[in-house]
Structure formats: C-alpha cells, structure tokens
Structure 1
Amino acid sequence: MALPSTLLLITLLSIGFTVSYAQGDLAGFAVGGVIFCPNTSLAAVGTYRVVPQATVDVVCGRSQSVVRSTTTNSAGIFSFFFNRVETLLFNLEECQIRVILPPGSCVFVPPGGSIRYTIISIRNRLGIVNAYILGAPTYVLA
C-alpha cells in the first residue's frame, strides 16, 4: 500500500517543480523525486529509509549517455530542470533516471547497485507535454 502513496508523492513533487519553474522566463520542465531503499518490509509501511548522497543520472539513447547528473540531498531528494530547447534536443520519454546507490545505504542492493526509472510525460488534450513524472522502478545492472 505504501508504493501508491510514494508514487503519488513523487508525481506531486514533479508537477510542483514544473509549475514553479515554468513561471520563470525560460519555461521548461522539471523531473524530480525522492530515492528510498527498496528493502523495507510491507509490515513496516511508511518507514522507507531515504538514500542521501545517491548518484542520480539522466541517461538517454542506445548508448546510455549521461546528459545530466546530480546527487540526492540529506532527505533523498533530487531534481533536474530542462528548458524547452533542451527538450527539443533529446526526447525525455526516451531517457531514464539511473540511481546508483552508495555502498551500505540499503540492506537489499539491486544487481549492480542501480535502480532505473522510466520518464513518463503527462500531456494535455492537444498532445502538448505539461509535466514529466517517474515511472515504476526497475533493478538492472549498472
């Protein structure tokens, strides 16, 4: 049950970042969220441990080239901002968020220590992108 509420939190954060950033001179998009350990028991709902100092990359294309990189803060939060020109240079829907967990940060460490999230666009009725959110996590080799 905690997973839907976590996804809701990430979605609201992403939309909130987008709305606040779009009010500036260079309208653009934000992608952000909270990174937490994937090893929390279902019996302990709501006790997800956040992961500070995790490396978060936006990787795009078949070559998986890194176009942006950051580190989560002490609350496990990260964010990326993209202006309209950057979204024309590469399609964010074809990119992924790659999170590399620091050693010892979680009890369960995914293969290769990496978690990936797809980037999903929220579009209006005209097909224009209004926001980007993170999809479900997958665990793959880094």
Structure 2
Amino acid sequence: MSWHNQDPLNLSDEEWIDLLKDKDIFDEIGLKMVAFVFAQPNCQSSATKIGEALGGVSQQQVTAWNRSIAIKIYQKLRKEPPLNSKGGKRYWNVLFDGDVEREFDEMGKFIWKLRPSLVSALQQLRIRDDGNL
C-alpha cells in the first residue's frame, strides 16, 4: 500500500494550532523546522536542505526531529501509528507527505511536503521565518 496522500491522523487546523502551541511537542527547533519548510515554494523541502538551513545538521538529525515530534503527537492523542513496509511503525508522515508529482529533488533527495491542514494552521498563527508564533 502506498503512503501517498495517507494522512494517518487527519488533524484539523485547530488541532494543529493546539499542537504547535504545545512546547512539549514543538520545541524551538521543531518550530524552526516547520517554519523553514512553510517558507519554501509549495511548502516543501528535502531533509538535507532543512538541515542546511538549521545550522548544517545532517539529514539523519532532521529525520530524528521529525520522528520525535510525530511520536509525541501520537502519545498525546493516544493513537497508534500505521505500519511501514517492513512492519515497523511509520512516523515520518505526520507532519509531511511526499509530493506525488515529484518525489525527489534535483539532487535525488526525497521531498517532504507539509500537510495542507498544518499549512493552514501555520498561516493562521502567522509563523515567522525564525519559528516564532
């Protein structure tokens, strides 16, 4: 089964706003991460470019931050994540989906695209480029 267009939690704008304001879920670096992607064309970026924008951290570190936020969201909502193709828990696509039209950028890096309801919540909160609400 494809992960494309599968929103495992289907959160509303209001639910995202509450989560974004929760410092236990979105700390400073988490807000900076989503603010950076929000400011990119079509609200999408690769983990490598996110890492470069956040001080030159590795793609693996960005992936770990994304996973950590997703785990906290699942715990807060008392829900179980879907399984990945290897039978493990799939966390990466709570904040992001892939771009169905273009999965990889010019460098061959997978493209992460913010979920539409998260984009709407960020617009309503008027998040700044530095990640401040």
TM-score (norm 1): 0.29
**Larger relative strand fraction:** 1
Q: Scaled by the length of structure 2, what TM-score is found?
A: 0.30
Judging by fraction of residues, say which structure has more helix: 2
The structure with the larger Rg is 1
